[in-house]
Structure 1
């Protein structure tokens, strides 16, 4: 079982001297399993990072990124490998990117989308969320002919009245998983993937969780009034005080604490069904988050560790206990899980750029980790349509980025010719750029990055991918501008 806590960064989730919050469910898994403290995503946002997890490849090879928002069928996926080898394959998704429309259903027998009350290709949820009164009736009337009218009305009413505003789908995910495990009569093993969305903007945790983290004197109602307009903040149109950023950080931590509770509940479902001891249970994240860090919000336009450093806990037979400080990446999960299941899957292994970190694989630790940001998302044009004229310091984000890191050093290289160099051993927060005074080290890491880029064929996929109006509206609900 692979559980992705969408947008959960390592700083709040990996056990360390910095973390000052309790995550009982995740910590319990980490104590009985292996916690990889130096795990890194290959991209800083959902679509390319999940594509890397599913294929074991990086964005320049799998081709799913801001310039081509689809995982094409050129590469085999982890779900396909498990299904071919006799596993029941199930995905429960709370994030619109992880759906059939963007190429992520391949290999899954069942894909359950929690934003729909009845599973269908027609999604009226954005109408229910964004219109009121007679406008809702008119909008629904215009869309009822798409697919099954009864199903459409059920989904719209669910989105409007029943889906809890302080839960982005975790509760419904667990209810569905619990029922599935209870009713399951099949003898074959299963591969289950879950994307939980709670830590993602907007941060609206349950009141009881938020009040544990809010600064003294700040009420829940006051916290809910703090602007969460990431794009306005990045463009300089929205100002946030240090106090307001502290409030947002508190809400973000509360979202993670709430999700930790739901992960504990998920474990209970597995235990009740008698499946936990036989299950390799993985908890990770697709990327992190900036909450004023580096002058940014959300998870775009940069490759700092606030976005790339993610939690990774693996519990199950064959894995040891304790913390492991070796460099690992999400691209490594595919071959690792194949090793854990004893599956050959030669095509997936041949295409994968990851390396197994399963204890039985006896591979040498990584010397470096790679990350890619192939195109800005949203584009400068989309951002300008949202916030108005962009200042020059924002337009500099109109570039692609690649990063290479060792245990001690990290180089970030831009398509605009920029270089940033950080000595992580001395300053893990990446505030002091040392590129100017370390030309030799920049050149050495540049060469390593070039050698890596020359070692494989790059995807030829380019151009925009069409999506339905409903999907585009739902992505904009999540803060993604198209």
Structure 2
């Protein structure tokens, strides 16, 4: 190995750059992949429209689709921590009780940086910033929702319900930091930002400009998180109208209250028709960010970088839009939340392959580094990853695991907001762990509760058969114990003191 760069000089490298795009809150069942099953959701077509995510579909048709890809957790912080470190939540310790990424853990960006790569990130999710330790290893990590980068977040102005609220928020926030920068960010969000956009358009434009103007010939690692599929679903009208149910108007759909924690806590109700409209809006958000993916691909092609780039698209977790009686992505580990799309294109991941073996997002560090011939012993020593490179010597998985360490927001915060909360939510005040094989899904809480699902006959995990198949439940319980009991649970650090603007943006996303 070339010790100056960390790159294996003897390996046959077929790609030199890596682009990793996370479609925040994209569930596998709603993304258009070759050979994928169609979901019925009440849209005009009654099934997935092939035009929903044509860029992803084309990438998959030309690249490699992993049909059984799973997140390690059902929400952003622990899922991205696993993606960046190759560790399970029990190992990296980043979750609702400790939202800061352990500084002693090695990250994928650090591995690329030390191997001589230019490392650039664009985040549109408030969790994925320097405030929570996710900037480590990046030469630059931008906040995609800002026109000019600033620690002061003007999101309270954007979220104002009327002119009075917007003016009040402007008065309260304008002098928090640099007034000129704050004014520019307000002007962009209120006047120039495309309707229905939550940072994707600005992020894509910045990436295109960066590719055009960069002045070094180093390989690069580019990470981007698009948050549009996340609540609130507010796609541009022209996208929404393609996916709404018959008879539903854009105004009617966008007027539906979108407050997942309030719905889960039975503070208000959403009808079946309203959920059908929400699923249409969600599909429209996916279509919108899919077009942004297409723009990034076009930019790479125009700069003659496409053929030298491994292009990766995945979801970080899924979403409930009425399934199992929930809205959002908290409190459980159903496949709706942890089964995610994963497509790789470039180098060894070409030819339209559809691979059925299990993979996890925590496998990406091993897979991406092997694809570009980088060996990072420090990262390899900490990870639980297995490379999915077609020439890897790592054994394939025959099961995947997921964890929900602690509720986010906490039960105490829910009680403070709603008073009495329903038992169906209160019972999730526990650690959940799940193991999934091709045939069974087993979920166990640290309170002794358990569920077992026979997936061929119960693909939507509605029927608990643990009492009918006690031996199977015991066998999978042992698998969970073998996976997690040897791990020394990472200690929860002190809670991060969030900036007020961060709190407001996270509250708007349904976390606080």
Normalised to the residue count of structure 1, the TM-score between the two structures is: 0.96
Partner of 2:49: 21
Partner of 2:237: 207
Query: Residues 8-66 of structure 1, C-alpha deviation per residue, up to 9 Å, x if partnerless?
Result: 10001144132522221111110111000000000000011000000000111111101
| 1:430-449 equivalent positions in 2, closer than 5 A | 430-449=461-480
Partner of 1:289: 319
- Take 1:157 and 1:6, find their aligned partners in 2: how far apart are those partners? 26
The question of 1:338 aligning with 2:369 is answered: yes
Instruction: Kindly indicate whether the alpha-carbon contact (under 8 Å) linking 2:160 and 2:169 is maintained by their aligned counterparts in 1.
Output: no
Instruction: Kindly indicate whether the alpha-carbon contact (under 8 Å) linking 1:229 and 1:238 is maintained by their aligned counterparts in 2.
Output: no
Instruction: Kindly indicate whether the alpha-carbon contact (under 8 Å) linking 1:290 and 1:297 is maintained by their aligned counterparts in 2.
Output: yes
Partner of 2:436: 405
Query: Residues 71-98 of structure 1, C-alpha deviation per residue, up to 9 Å, x if partnerless?
Result: 1212100000000010000001111011
Instruction: Kindly indicate whether the alpha-carbon contact (under 8 Å) linking 1:286 and 1:310 is maintained by their aligned counterparts in 2.
Output: yes
The question of 1:472 aligning with 2:490 is answered: no
In the TM superposition, residue 456 of structure 1 has moved relative to its aligned partner by 3.1
- In structure 1, runs of 5+ residues without a counterpart are none
Match of 1:9 among 15, 20, 27: 27
Partner of 1:358: 389
Partner of 1:106: 136
Between 158-167 and 357-366, report the one with greater CA deviation. Answer: 158-167
| 1:384-395 equivalent positions in 2, closer than 5 A | 384-395=415-426
* Structure 2 residue matching 1:326: 3-state secondary structure: strand
Instruction: Kindly indicate whether the alpha-carbon contact (under 8 Å) linking 2:156 and 2:169 is maintained by their aligned counterparts in 1.
Output: no
- Take 1:142 and 1:214, find their aligned partners in 2: how far apart are those partners? 38
Between 448-457 and 368-377, report the one with greater CA deviation. Answer: 448-457
Partner of 2:93: 63
Instruction: Kindly indicate whether the alpha-carbon contact (under 8 Å) linking 2:146 and 2:199 is maintained by their aligned counterparts in 1.
Output: no
Instruction: Kindly indicate whether the alpha-carbon contact (under 8 Å) linking 1:128 and 1:157 is maintained by their aligned counterparts in 2.
Output: no
* Structure 2 residue matching 1:17: 3-state secondary structure: coil
- Take 2:179 and 2:325, find their aligned partners in 1: how far apart are those partners? 46
Query: Residues 336-369 of structure 1, C-alpha deviation per residue, up to 9 Å, x if partnerless?
Result: 0010010010000110111101012132210210
CA RMSD of aligned residues (A): 1.6
The question of 1:423 aligning with 2:454 is answered: yes
In the TM superposition, residue 439 of structure 1 has moved relative to its aligned partner by 1.1
Partner of 2:283: 253
- Take 2:65 and 2:461, find their aligned partners in 1: how far apart are those partners? 23
- Take 1:128 and 1:211, find their aligned partners in 2: how far apart are those partners? 24
Partner of 2:487: 456
* Structure 1 residue matching 2:159: 3-state secondary structure: helix
- Take 1:165 and 1:378, find their aligned partners in 2: how far apart are those partners? 29
Instruction: Kindly indicate whether the alpha-carbon contact (under 8 Å) linking 1:125 and 1:155 is maintained by their aligned counterparts in 2.
Output: no
Between 205-214 and 4-13, report the one with greater CA deviation. Answer: 205-214
Between 382-391 and 97-106, report the one with greater CA deviation. Answer: 382-391
Match of 1:150 among 180, 200, 209: 180
Match of 2:302 among 272, 278, 287: 272
- Take 2:207 and 2:264, find their aligned partners in 1: how far apart are those partners? 38
The question of 1:90 aligning with 2:110 is answered: no
Instruction: Kindly indicate whether the alpha-carbon contact (under 8 Å) linking 1:35 and 1:324 is maintained by their aligned counterparts in 2.
Output: yes
* Structure 1 residue matching 2:262: 3-state secondary structure: helix
* Structure 1 residue matching 2:266: 3-state secondary structure: coil
- Take 1:440 and 1:398, find their aligned partners in 2: how far apart are those partners? 27
- Take 2:444 and 2:110, find their aligned partners in 1: how far apart are those partners? 34
- Take 1:436 and 1:205, find their aligned partners in 2: how far apart are those partners? 45
Partner of 1:307: 337
* Structure 1 residue matching 2:473: 3-state secondary structure: helix
* Structure 2 residue matching 1:343: 3-state secondary structure: coil
In the TM superposition, residue 333 of structure 1 has moved relative to its aligned partner by 0.2
Query: Residues 364-423 of structure 1, C-alpha deviation per residue, up to 9 Å, x if partnerless?
Result: 210210101000011112122333321233211211111011111111111221100011
The question of 1:189 aligning with 2:209 is answered: no
- Take 2:158 and 2:191, find their aligned partners in 1: how far apart are those partners? 8
Partner of 1:34: 64
Query: Residues 96-149 of structure 1, C-alpha deviation per residue, up to 9 Å, x if partnerless?
Result: 011000110000001111221211222233244327556655554554443322
Query: Residues 302-358 of structure 1, C-alpha deviation per residue, up to 9 Å, x if partnerless?
Result: 000000000000001022432101000000000000100100100001101111010
* Structure 2 residue matching 1:359: 3-state secondary structure: coil
